[in-house]
Structure 1
Amino acid sequence: MENKIDTATKLGRIPENVRKEHKGFSEWKPGTTSRDHQPIVQILIDGRDLNALPTLVYMAREKRPHRHHNFKAGAMNSLIRVSSEISNGPIILNVDCDMYSNNSKSVRDALCFLMDEKKGHEIGYVQFPQKFNNLTKNDIYANSLRMFNEVHFHGLDSLGGPLYVGSGCFHRRWSLIGNRYKEVPEEDLKICKSNTVEESTFVLEEKAKVLATCTYEDNTQWGHEVGLKYGCPVEDVITGLTIQCRGWKSIYFNPARAGFLGVAPVTLEQTLVQHKRWSEGDCQIFFSKYCPFLYGYGTIQLGLQMGYSIYCLWALNSVPTLYYVIVPSLSMLNDTLLFPKVSSIWFIPFAYVIVAAFAYNIWECRRIGFTFKGWLNDKRMWLFKRQTSYLFALMDTLLKLLGINRSAFVVTAKVTDKDVASRYEKEVMEFGSSSLLFIILATLALLNLLCLVAGAKKLLMDARGFEEFFLQFLICSLLVIVNAPVYQGLFFRKDNARMPTLVTVISVILAMLTCFVTLL
């Protein structure tokens, strides 16, 4: 079915043999495209006929070029309405299109929470972790989200429940359509038909089509008080926050066998773009009326408000990170002392924080399964994302607040060719495009390399320099180590995934110009 739909889209017409085989294709007209078509609803398998398989419905909501379709949130709200007409099942499972079920017991496990006799009535949704089936051994782009899955979300589970992350989530329909928490009657969990009279498949399909039109939501609360929220790149997070602020709790369930598996980005640019969208959406939440400290005041625990803010403040983390990436190195180049001397008693607090933070982080990462190289990759991507993704997310958020820019939903591309896939499996970092993201990464990496060379020369020539600039030299050295793949991409690699010549030239000029201005 998927191949036939893709073929029809590419050809711009429906082959006659396919048109006769599936009723849904007969509704396609000349000029129909994926962005301009009427609503299509077809019940492929009718579970009411005592079929061996449950009801299976194909739905394509109406789309018109002049109507905003609200991306994923709009699609899910249409699905909620159509399913209410056909089955009205009390539990809704949301899985992204690039994910699949990996554990046949997931439904049973989720229902055990939702139908618990003592606490089940207060559970709005059960969230499974996002996991991927194409991660490399050392997770080169830190896409496993292991720290969130194995540490953070378990902590949130004790404070009212984790965030809704947009996939692998079992929702109680009653909570998802905007109702506040109340004692849910036992019959709410019985799967009943919405229509008391048995209606023909044709009648059901025609009724459902009306619910999937562009105009159905006009002058309604859909996307505002009902269903998933509109107007935010991370509609899942803001929807989950709203559900919890209405009194519902959530459950985080992380079984030994992953419930759902998906496809992680396999290039550096894909990863950075994905995190730019996530951090921008979270930042917009923080500066809106849905800020966890304002919207959640008096309705969710302070700990959960702080838990949400970890993600809402991702973009703002770019500011202090850029300070430590740029200022200590340039200050060492300019003989400006920022930290206490090694012989000073005030050096002890700095030394304690550095050693304690690194030791604890390494221990924690090893405890949850990181290899040492995997830990280094995680720190590298921590730095890369804050230098680029979070910086652009913060800038776009500020522009939006000033009314200058409008948010756009950027889908992360995950289709790759054989060469890219081969390099990914070998854990060779992919550059290859003249992206502004890479210009920033390369410029900052070269800036620290130049400062390290100058600093090393200074320390060798003057013994007092080591005592005075030790911490600045240490920070600069660590940054150079973390940026090792960038230097390889700039100067040593010859494959198609190396850093483009244009990026190299621009970055070298910018780095040298910055150092020259600093020395003036």
Structure 2
Amino acid sequence: MHNRGWRSIYCVTKRDAFRGTAPINLTDRLHQVLRWATGSVEIFFSRNNALLSGPKLKFLQRIAYLNVGIYPFTSIFLIVYCFLPALSLFSGQFIVQTLNITFLAYLLGITISLVLLAVLEIKWSGIQLEEWWRNEQFWLIGGTSAHLAAVIQGLLKVIAGIEISFTLTSKSTGEDDDDEYADLYIVKWTSLMIPPLTIMMVNIIAIAVGVSRTIYATNPEWSRLLGGVFFSFWVLAHLYPFAKGLMGRRGRTPTIVYVWSGLIAITISLLWVAINPPSSAGSQIGGSFSFP
């Protein structure tokens, strides 16, 4: 419509014009996000791409539609960022080899910009800080699962001509009078859960490996360990709702999940120490790392 010259007005009424139900459990929510992201990828690869549209589309409209079309592709970089702290702990080398004034100033500028952007979003939308944080958490969960799957499906459709079949999301029925949030605790396995689960396990194991190697090192460098562990914990903090969703109903947490996670982490840590003895670990850890 905008490409043909039509104008649109955003109308906000006092009373809600429409109301509906939304998927409440993790699986259905991820499927819904997948459907949205896949639609954006299809538009990006179609003739309605904001870059290839006609002259009637205004500049800001092009920017807005381009943002809608390319946001699923950020999942590729997001996946890399989530694995970087774990790779740092596995390799024993910090993400940044040398910290200088230029890098710290650049990092400080980006951090302040992100904080100010978050404050503006909270003030503009009128939501609470806790609600904003939950949105940030689900952005990472959806970005590492549904958005990545949407990009893969979109590329398969463009390159190989494979059609995409959507899974309709079931909405909350409210049939359980005893617990109106009964659907929230339903856990249905889907392949979309594999990337976030892999990120969680790799970061947990990397923390165990980094701690064990530092403890057994001849010259332990705790500052480097704390740097890598901080970023891994930051990734895990964003994935906490995902882990909580996998647990299902409160009071029914499968203990086997904790048991296997602990056994895998301990086993890999012991194997790493056996392969990389303390004597060599100390020499490997003592790489170049300087503060300004």
TM-score, normalized by length of structure 2? 0.76
Q: Distance in 1 between matches of 2:14 and 2:97?
A: 48
Match of 1:304 in 2: 61
1:443 paired to 2:226: no
Cα gap change, 1:341 to 1:348, in 2 (>3 Å): farther
Which residue identity does 2:149 align to in structure 1?
F
Distance 1:481 1:338, change over 3 A: same
Alignment of 1:188-199 (within 5 A): none
Q: Structure 1 463/409 Cα, relative in aligned 2: closer, same or farther at 3 Å?
A: closer
1:401 aligns with 2:151: no
Q: Is the 8 A contact 1:432 1:500 kept in 2?
A: no
Structure 2 residue runs of 5 or longer lacking an equivalent are 277-292
Quote the residue 2:181 is aligned against.
422
Alpha carbons 1:283, 1:312 under 8 Å: kept? yes
Paired residues of 1:380 and 1:482 also in contact (CA < 8 A): yes
What secondary structure sits across from 2:200 in the alignment?
A: helix
1:315 and 2:76 are equivalent in the alignment? no
Partner of 2:224: 465
- CA pair 459-430 structure 1, distance change in 2 beyond 3 A: farther
| SS of corresponding position for 1:304 | helix
Distance in 2, matches of 1:465 and 1:259, equals: 55
- The structure whose residues are more often helix, as a share, is 2
- CA deviations over 1:132-157 (Å, ceiling 9, x no partner): xxxxxxxxxxxxxxxxxxxxxxxxxx
- Counterpart of 1:288 in structure 2 is 46
Q: In 2, Cα distance between the equivalents of 1:355 and 1:400?
A: 40
The equivalent of 2:189 in structure 1 is 434
CA separation of 1:490 and 1:280: change in aligned 2, threshold 3 A: closer
Deviation digits for residues 178-202 of structure 1, max 9, x if unmatched? xxxxxxxxxxxxxxxxxxxxxxxxx
In the alignment, is the contact (CA less than 8 A) between 1:267 and 1:431 conserved in 2? yes
Specify which of 388, 404, 422 is matched with residue 145 of structure 2. 388
- Asked if 2 retains the 8 angstrom alpha-carbon contact of 1:340 and 1:346, the reply is no
Equivalent residue number for residue 264 of structure 1: 22
Alignment of 1:147-158 (within 5 A): none
Provide the residue aligned with 1:375 in structure 2. Answer: 132
Q: Give CA deviations for 1:301-336 in whole Å, capped at 9, x if unaligned.
A: 121111011111122111011010112322232123
2:98 is aligned with 1:335: no
Percent identity reads 21
Larger radius of gyration: 1
The answer on 1:485 being equivalent to 2:234 is no
Corresponding residue for residue 276 of structure 1: 34
Residue equivalent to 2:290: none
CA distance in 1, matches of 2:31, 2:153: 13
Kept after mapping to 2: 8 A contact 1:280/1:397: yes
Report how many aligned residue pairs link the two structures: 268
Assess, with a 3 A threshold, how the Cα gap between structure 1 residues 293 and 486 changes in structure 2: closer, same or farther: closer
**Highest relative contact order (Cα 8 Å, sep 6+), 1 or 2?**
2
Does the 8 Å CA contact 1:388/1:441 hold for their aligned counterparts? yes
Say if 1:266 and 1:421, in contact at 8 Å, map to a contact too.
Answer: no
Aligned-residue Cα RMSD (Å) equals 3.7
Corresponding position of 2:168: 411
Aligned to 2:12: 254
In the alignment, residue 265 of structure 1 is paired with which amino acid? P
Instruction: Quote how far apart the aligned CAs of 1:440 are.
Output: 2.6
Conserved 8 A contact 2:144-2:195? yes
**What SS is found at the alignment partner of 2:9?**
strand
CA displacement at 1:410 relative to structure 2: 3.3
TM-score relative to the length of structure 1: 0.45
- Tell me which residue corresponds to 2:103: 346
Relative to structure 1, the CA distance from residue 291 to residue 385 in structure 2 (aligned partners, 3 Å threshold; closer, same or farther) is same
Greater strand content: 1
Q: Counterparts of 2:51 and 2:112 in 1: how far apart (Å)? A: 33
